Amino acid sequence: DADVTQTPRNRITKTGKRIMLECSQTKGHDRMYWYRQDPGLGLRLIYYSFDVKDINKGEISDGYSVSRQAQAKFSLSLESAIPNQTALYFCATSVGGQGIYEQYFGPGTRLTVT
Amino acid sequence: DQQVKQNSPSLSVQEGRISILNCDYTNSMFDYFLWYKKYPAEGPTFLISISSIKDKNEDGRFTVFLNKSAKHLSLHIVPSQPGDSAVYFCAASVSGGSNYKLTFGKGTLLTVNP
């Protein structure tokens, strides 16, 4: 079984609709992240959470919100989807602490907003 | 301002030869660097990392070289195999208070021809 799972894997929605992307992990990591990837661009950080009570904005948080329901679950919501939110979305996890730790990514959700 | 640059969008090499993927950075605060590999329809997977206290790190067929004065790092794959065909992302981080944040390059598509 995959350590980091994302649902749905693909989603097509209409402009103005609310949509939620979900992420679950079995790695036992404290830190969770949401990224988006656009064609020809690297991954950009949307939100991150260091534990259940800690939520922080990343570099491109406008138009998005998140919820950390449990250590293992981190959801990303688009309250009113717009076409330029069409992208590949990745959830990632890492251990906490003072060192630099690699992040482990889920398989991604391809979102299309029409 | 793009702080991590992968100036070659694509690279094609023959099986058995060396693949060299390059990455430049502009932020002198970066002191930890990672390479990720991404196959289509999958999330990025961690490949290898290097701290700025080193100039080389090796793991099997993969070696990362860091030239701090030039703000340049490279990933060498020897020998290259068809299964290495993927997009490779360079990422950089700052140890200390912001150790969660990875700044990614745009990626380089490596194609290894049989």
Mean pLDDT per segment of 10 residues, for chain B of length 114 residues? 90 98 95 94 93 95 97 98 97 76 92 96
Is residue A83 pLDDT above 70, yes or no?
yes
A39 inside 8 A of chain B by CB: no
Using alpha carbons, select from A49, A75, A48, A44 the residue that is nearest to residue A59: A44
Residues A74 and A23: their CA atoms lie apart, in Å, by: 5
Using a 10 angstrom Cβ sphere, with 0-12 exposed, 13-18 middle and 19 or more buried, the burial of residue A36 is: buried
For residue A44, give both structure tokens: 């950009």
Residue A91 to residue A76: CA distance in whole angstroms: 9
Size of interface A-B (CB pairs under 8 A): 54
Task: Encode pLDDT of A12-54 as tens digits.
Answer: 999 999 999 999 999 999 899 999 999 888 899 999 998 899 9
Distance from CA of A104 to the nearest CA of B (A): 7
B93 and A CB contact within 8 Å: yes
At A58 the pLDDT is 92
Q: Please identify which residue in the block is written with the tokens 């950390």.
A: A68
| Residue B96, both tokens | 């200390």
Whether A95 has a pLDDT exceeding 90, the answer reads no
Mean pLDDT of the region A47-65: 93
Residues of chain A neighbouring B107 (CB-CB closer than 8 A):
42
Evaluate if residue A76 carries a pLDDT over 70.
Answer: yes
Q: B57 has which bridge partners?
A: B64
Residues of B in contact with A93 (CB under 8 A): none
DSSP state string for A2-32: -SEEEE-SEEEE-TT--EEEEEEE-S--SEE
Q: Detail the DSSP E strand segments found in chain B.
A: 4-5, 10-14, 19-25, 32-38, 45-51, 56-59, 62-67, 72-77, 86-93, 103-104, 108-113
How far is A93 from A4, CA to CA, in rounded Å? 8
